[in-house]
Amino acid sequence: MSDANQVEVDFEFIVESAPDAVLVVSAAGRIVRINGEAERMFGYPRIELLGQSLELLLPVRLREIHAAFRDQFASDPSIRPMGVAGCSLGCRRDGSEFSVDISLSPTASGSVIAIVRDVSDRESINQELRELTATLERRVAELARQTKILESILNSMGEGVIVYGQSGKLLLVNPAALRLHPALGSMRERLDWSSVAGELGLFLADKLTPYPADELPLARVIKGEAVDGLEVFVRPPGAAEGIWTTVTGRPLRDGDGNIAGGVVVIRDTTALKFAQGALLAGQEAEGKRVARELHDSVAQDLCCLILEMAQLKRELPSSLGDRVELQKRKLMELANELDCVCRQLHPSVLERIGLVQAVEQLCTDYTERKGLQTQFSHGETPVFLPAESELCVYRVVQEGLRNVLRHAHARQAAVLLSAFQGGLYLSIEDDGIGFDPKTVDGKARLGLVSMQERVRLAGGSICVHSAPGQGTRIELRVPLLAASPRQDSSETIVSTASAS
């Protein structure tokens, strides 16, 4: 075989092996040669295409336009690579259309070699991308609109909102949060749990102990805990006064349920604390006034009546004297009940004999008059006890024993009073039926709420342990602060632990 023939064979092999359709078109626009891929692509057998006009492979609506283009190209032929003129449309034998890209190479004889590539898949992908891009742009625009609405809401809120990532980096701090915690403005990089309490001035209920790092609402939320109504006293470094805040927080989770950060909402409750303190002080003052009036009027009249009946008994015959004695005893019982009411309205016994003796007397009264075997014990207590702390502890003992008598069906109760670091510790325990704090009825809950509010205003903490059939134990800690109780607060915990 001659070299020329070998070149022809090699060329034929290359054309037939090409992954794209190869067509040789004469100067008159007739197809003179095609490869196998052109047959497959357009669906025509080779014999049907040879000698046909090139426009046969185009949609009917484009054939006239393409003929004019072909004449223009013939007048000034040049190599046109793929992608220069963009995608065109091809038409298969069955009439279906598809996107193609074409390169043109003129030859010395005046014919043109056209290489055609099916790009319908690429066009389909491009169309999907365009649609996805349009959808994404719409969603971004909607997100931007919603973000503006959210920012407007957050900026107008009176409560402080802090959003932070898993590493502690602050993601969002609204103006109210900056007003409550100005130091947050310099903590944009990352919250350092070991120092954030000192930098923000966060304290426990005693207003003296910095908040422990692992108990901070921010730290607890990032661990996956939910925080509800946690009270924190805030006094920034260098500030003479402080404020009370209530913190609520929830962890933020990603689509897989993993913790991705946290959000806390902070409310300034200082005004509420003063209002609650004023209300409690008003109640105590009114109770004191009513107790004094009962003592000075009704109690004195009862005493006079008892003395007159004693005198009357001596002057009457014995048969009538016994009846008078019976009525005199009823009056004495009434006088004792009135004395109990006066002590409940205003425990003046605190002023006379002090907290320890007053609580002991109260326990003795429940044993002797109420039938509840109440054991009292105490450890060392401070010599000086602020009136606010004494009153808080005494009122809790009153309410606690009253609840035991009314709801616990207990035979015995134990009251323990002692000192702990910087304050008083009180425990009230009974052997009653116990209860589930989550399902306690309204009256019993009212008693618990009363104790909790009083302790909270005294800057202390109260924990109620109970479970059905296991009795109840109330534990109270109150700091010995001379400040007015209306300026204080506490954390209240109600658990379902056993009263062991």
Q: Is 274 found in the same domain as 407?
A: no
pLDDT at 489: 34
pLDDT tens-digit map of 205-219: 767 788 888 888 888
Please compute, for residue 277, the number of CA atoms within 13 A of its CA located in the half-sphere on the CB side: 20
Average pLDDT taken over every residue of the chain: 79
Cβ contacts of 490 within 8 Å, gap of 6 or more = 205, 231, 455, 456, 457, 458, 459, 460, 461, 462
pLDDT at 83: 63
> E strands, 335-460, where?
373-378, 412-420, 423-430
C-alpha 236/C-alpha 231 separation (Å) is: 16
Domain harbouring 384, CATH code? 3.30.565.10
Q: Mean pLDDT over residues 109-121, rounded?
A: 88
Q: Is 179 found in the same domain as 307?
A: no
pLDDT at 41: 92
Q: Is 294 found in the same domain as 197?
A: no
Q: Mean pLDDT over residues 115-136, rounded?
A: 86
Q: Mean pLDDT over residues 37-52, rounded?
A: 92
Most confident range, picked from 287-301, 332-346, 457-471 = 457-471
Structure tokens at 126: 């491009």
Q: Is 208 found in the same domain as 92?
A: no
> E strands, 174-298, where?
202-203, 227-234, 243-253, 259-268
C-alpha 179/C-alpha 218 separation (Å) is: 18
How many residues in the chain? 500
Q: Mean pLDDT over residues 215-228, rounded?
A: 87
Q: Is 275 found in the same domain as 262?
A: no
pLDDT band at residue 497 using 50, 70 and 90 as cut-offs? very low
Q: Is 64 found in the same domain as 11?
A: yes
Q: Mean pLDDT over residues 15-38, rounded?
A: 90
Q: In this structure, what DSSP letter does residue 241 have?
A: -
Q: Is 312 found in the same domain as 196?
A: no
pLDDT tens-digit map of 478-488: 887 544 433 33
Q: Is 130 found in the same domain as 55?
A: no
pLDDT at 406: 84
Give the number of domains in the chain.
5
Indicate if the pLDDT at residue 93 is higher than 90.
yes
Q: Is 149 found in the same domain as 167?
A: no
Boundary of a domain, candidates 67, 97, 118: 118
pLDDT tens-digit map of 230-249: 888 888 887 778 888 889 99
pLDDT tens-digit map of 249-301: 999 988 888 888 889 999 988 877 776 666 666 666 666 666 565 655 666 66
Q: Is 214 found in the same domain as 174?
A: yes
For 163, the domain range is 157-266
Q: Is 19 found in the same domain as 106?
A: yes
pLDDT at 488: 36
Q: Is 452 found in the same domain as 382?
A: yes
pLDDT at 485: 37
Boundary of a domain, candidates 224, 242, 266: 266
Domain harbouring 71, CATH code? 3.30.450.20
Question: Smallest Cα–Cα separation from 450: which of 401, 407, 400?
Answer: 400
